[in-house]
Amino acid sequence: MMNFSKLKRHALCLGVVACLAANALSAQAATKSLRIGTLAPKNSLYHRQLQAVGEAWRDAQGGDAKYLIYPDGSQGGEAELARRMRIGQLQGALISVVGLREIEPSIAALQNLPLLFKSWEEVDYVREKMRASMEKKFFDKGFVVLAWGDSGWVRFFSKEPAFRPADYLKMKFFAWGAESEQQEIMKSLGYTPVPLETSDILPAIQTGMISVVPSTPYFALASQIYNTAPNMLEINWAPIVGALVVTRKAWDDMSPVAQQALRNAGEQAGLAMRTQARQEVDEAVAAMKQRGLVVNKPNLEQMKEWSALADKLYPRIRGHMVPAETFDEVFTHLKAFRAIAGR
């Protein structure tokens, strides 16, 4: 039998092992890392805001916490970023609805309804009305929404000038590879979508694989798309809406102090992204015009044709690209806002 002295030594050894294990776990917690992916260009407004969020989180998390940003789509397209978060290769991403809908399809209602929103005030109103329920849906799917942002209105950049919907029937459109429903709708209306990743846009338009790119002015300037597609249709087709999300696993691993710091920094970043991005739309267009961009503005008759196309699209979008319930909710909120605003 083990004598009392041996028992004491044995207990002491177990205590030492337990302390070492606890210290190891503590060290592991202190070296937590957040890896954030995005298609946003390095040093852009969005990249800088992600850096500010990271600094706030590192200060609160303490220890050897690491915060790494992968800009320029270096981790793949938006659908791929959503996949990488699911398997733990990334802990978060700043992505548009194209990637967010891979997590929660109803988010498409904020971006995939052409010519519905007439102003940023309308976009803000509808988003805020739906925000709590939308964030809960993401939470239930395993993600925490930290910030809501946007990056301007989608305009059409093309090689040849175009003013009306029929002008684009002979052109080849860039289409996000993950949005197969959109591609089917476009084909049914006689248009030619070419599914690609965002990183493929520039070489594709340079080689003639595509001839028109739906893009925000900011992205068109940053990516130099306008050099090859120097015609921009001045029409606010749809807003590009996005969010910064992190996985619930990463969120649950943080200290309460770090969670609060991350949430506060996210709110500030979202406000900055929305405010500054909207200002930079006009600045981007002005900069491109100085370098040869031609802005084509549809007249009243041509705008009626675009509105008629949007009206034709809505029944095809409802229940396909956008869940019917969410589609109807957007229209209800928008009707209420316009009644309040007297529009």
Q: What is the pLDDT of residues 83-114, one digit of tens each?
A: 999 999 999 999 999 999 999 999 999 999 99
**pLDDT top residue among 276 and 25:** 276
Indicate the residue type of 197. Answer: E
Reported pTM: 0.85
> Domains along the chain?
33-341 (3.40.190.170)
Q: What is the pLDDT of residues 18-62, one digit of tens each?
A: 343 333 333 344 348 999 999 999 999 999 999 999 999 999 998
Span between the terminal Cα atoms of the chain, in Å? 90
Residues 94/98/102/104 CA torsion (nearest 10 deg): 80
Name the DSSP letter for residue 102: T
Average pLDDT over residues 223-237: 96
- Residue 3: pLDDT above 50? no
Q: Which residue has the tokens 């009644």?
A: 339
Q: 124 with 187: CB under 8 angstroms?
A: no
Nearest to 226 by CA among 164, 284, 166: 284
